[in-house]
Structure 1
Amino acid sequence: MMRVLSFDYRPHARFIDPARDRAQLWRLVLGIVLVAGFFLVLSNLVFGTILGVLDPQTASDVLRDAQTGQTAGGMLLLLFQLGLLAVATAMVVIMVHRRRPWTLVGPLGLAVRQFGAVLFMMVLLTAALWILPPYEIGEGTLTANMPIGRWMLLLPIAVVAVMVQIGAEEILFRGYLQQQLAARFRSPLVWMVLPAILFGAGHYLPDSAGSNAVTIALWATVFAMLMADLTARSGTLGPAMAVHFANNISAMVLTATPDEMSGLALYVLPFGIGDEAAMAAWLPVDFGFMLVSWLAARLAIRA
């Protein structure tokens, strides 16, 4: 128990070292503004290029699908678009903080080894979740979302797309924001909580989630804090990326809600995120699995 509750953040000092030279708050504020601006510009360039070669009706359909993620093409486009966050962040790190973008990840060799160890643990954990009873989800059962053959053909592209998406989010939130804040402030209440609140705010979806939107945003905030903790314990983004990847693969490629983000899923859940009663029963399970994933990742890296 004491080991679980320990806060050995010594590797974090090595992780934030590259950010110390230019950790002024004005640089961080400018960097956040530029990341948002660069992301919008890059997104417009990419979407403009893609949509420019399509007829108006097809372009309209692509835009709609990219907003909902309910088709395979739309979901892939959405995930790869989020990868532009990493490009925007890298540009800011070079221009504003004058350091190499890969310093956002930590020592690369160590990050890769930790990613592999934690991902293996996540695969075991996910397999146990699928194999062990109970086999029903809420008041119904999983239903097929697409033929298994088509899903298998899409799977390699989906894995790459999810890796791009989670990598970009980790680089921005646990890499750039956490490093720059930790280089300026020693308290975890700053470098752990502030990026987590921003991460949670990005998952606040009142239009689709209804009254569950706050709970889902809270889930995302807690998840972000646990990933910040893993990053501080490990000194790299490897463990957080592995947990985030496993979570999103499970939520987007294996099973998804029927109302959005289901374009790549093999199965869909019997309820949507706006279903208050079903989500009220499901979210505590999801919170529990999140905590178990965090503990399993710590076990994998002996932290």
Structure 2
Amino acid sequence: MPPYSAHQSFIAPAVPTAALWRVIVGFLAASAIYLLLNNLLFTLVFNVTGPQDSSFFDDLLSGKTPAAMFLLLGSFALMTLGVTIVARVLHQRSFASLIGPLGLAVAQFSAVVRLLVVVSVVIFLLPPWDLGDPLVPNLEVGTWVLLLPFSLLAVFVQVSAEEIVFRGYVQQQLAARFKMPLVWMVLPSFLFALGHYMPNELGENALIIALWAGVFGMLMADLTARAGSLGPAIAVHFCNNVAAIVIMSMPDDLSGLALYLTPFSMADTEAVRAWLPVDFALMFITWLAARLAIRR
């Protein structure tokens, strides 16, 4: 069986409206809807909270508290809403068609998460990982445990939105128009990487971190094409972001839900760069594990 045979059924709903102009207009429209609704949401929040000092809004926008993180991660539901509106209006497609067969997606998501939990435990136990200095405690354990179900749900909302947009909508529509994987794997991954290129926040490492995101996107595109649903890609993205947001975050931004903080920040260019090869290796390990879990 060809490795991407399942991809044909996954992209089938996109075939009737596969004109290139539609995906270009659709992506721009979905982005505009998301940005507009996101701006309205945060304007409403700022109006409700009333006058505050600048540090309050800085902490809110950088995710330094649990409440801020729930707001930031939850706002990704607006991204899902934007692409759902575009799929319905511009392509006469349902939201479910962006995910693939729901039963299959759920089963594959569960299988991949179970295996990645085992892989993560093995990786944690076997080598003597060393970040240079001890991890810095962030949330109290009791508070972290109490928030954990809501934290996992918030991360799921965030990663699902990104996968639905890039591996769902954009990949489906491009694959329905172009048969070459070079198009439907690389272009959505480039857009995904572009969204992670943040030179102001990431400094000298901005380009290599964007490259990491681009490679991650292509691996998720491969998983999606093999699986015939977004289940495995959402699972890998979910486990990756739980590790980076809920378990061990960097102290710069998005640290409000983390149990621990790393002993270095994004400003420590060399320390971050030294850890990136390990991060790349872990990305490939999780991709291979996900492929094993779905046996494709």
Q: What TM bracket, shorter-length normalisation?
A: over 0.9
User: How far off is 1:42 after superposition?
Assistant: 1.4
Matches within 5 A, 1:13-24: 13-24=8-19
Q: Distance in 1 between matches of 2:57 and 2:89?
A: 32
Residue matched to 1:141: 134
Matches within 5 A, 1:202-213: 202-213=195-206
Q: Secondary structure in 1 aligned to 2:252? A: coil
1:178 aligns with 2:164: no
Residue matched to 2:234: 241
Q: Distance in 1 between matches of 2:269 and 2:52?
A: 35
Aligned pair partner of 1:64 in 58, 68, 82: 58
Residue matched to 2:289: 296
Q: Distance in 2 between matches of 1:7 and 1:86?
A: 31
Gaps of 5+ in 2: none
Matches within 5 A, 1:261-300: 261-300=254-293
1:90 aligns with 2:84: yes
User: How far off is 1:62 after superposition?
Assistant: 5.4
1:27 aligns with 2:27: no
Q: Deviations over 1:235-273 (max 9, x none)?
A: 000000000000000000000111111111000111112
Q: Deviations over 1:74-96 (max 9, x none)?
A: 11111111221100000000010
Residue matched to 1:109: 103
Aligned pair partner of 2:67 in 52, 73, 77: 73
Aligned pair partner of 1:43 in 38, 42, 46: 38
User: How far off is 1:150 after superposition?
Assistant: 1.0
Between 63-72 and 169-178, the greater mean CA deviation after superposition: 63-72
Q: Distance in 2 between matches of 1:274 and 1:125?
A: 30
Q: Deviations over 1:84-110 (max 9, x none)?
A: 110000000001001111100000000
Q: Distance in 1 between matches of 2:57 and 2:186?
A: 34
Contact 1:65 1:75 (8 Å CA) reproduced:
no
Q: Deviations over 1:137-174 (max 9, x none)?
A: 2x212121121011111111111100000000000000
Contact 1:212 1:274 (8 Å CA) reproduced:
no
Task: Tell me which stretches of 4 or more aligned residues in structure 1 moved more than 3 Å.
Answer: 60-63
Q: Distance in 2 between matches of 1:62 and 1:225?
A: 38
Residue matched to 1:52: 47
TM-score (normalised: structure 2): 0.96
Cα distance 1:240–1:181, how it changes in 2: closer, same or farther (>3 A)? same
Residue matched to 1:189: 182
Cα distance 1:300–1:187, how it changes in 2: closer, same or farther (>3 A)? same
Identity within the alignment, %: 51
Contact 1:62 1:74 (8 Å CA) reproduced:
no
Q: Secondary structure in 1 aligned to 2:64? A: coil
Between 65-74 and 83-92, the greater mean CA deviation after superposition: 65-74
Between 279-288 and 175-184, the greater mean CA deviation after superposition: 279-288
TM-score (normalised: structure 1): 0.94
Q: Distance in 2 between matches of 1:71 and 1:130?
A: 27
User: How far off is 1:7 after superposition?
Assistant: 6.4
User: How far off is 1:46 after superposition?
Assistant: 2.1
Q: Deviations over 1:40-62 (max 9, x none)?
A: 2211332233333221217x655
User: How far off is 1:136 after superposition?
Assistant: 2.1
Cα distance 1:7–1:62, how it changes in 2: closer, same or farther (>3 A)? farther
Q: Distance in 1 between matches of 2:229 and 2:161?
A: 14
Q: Compute the RMSD of aligned alpha carbons.
A: 1.4
Q: Secondary structure in 1 aligned to 2:75? A: helix
Amino acid across the alignment from 1:267: Y
Residue matched to 1:3: none
Amino acid across the alignment from 1:87: L
Amino acid across the alignment from 1:184: R
Residue matched to 2:4: 9
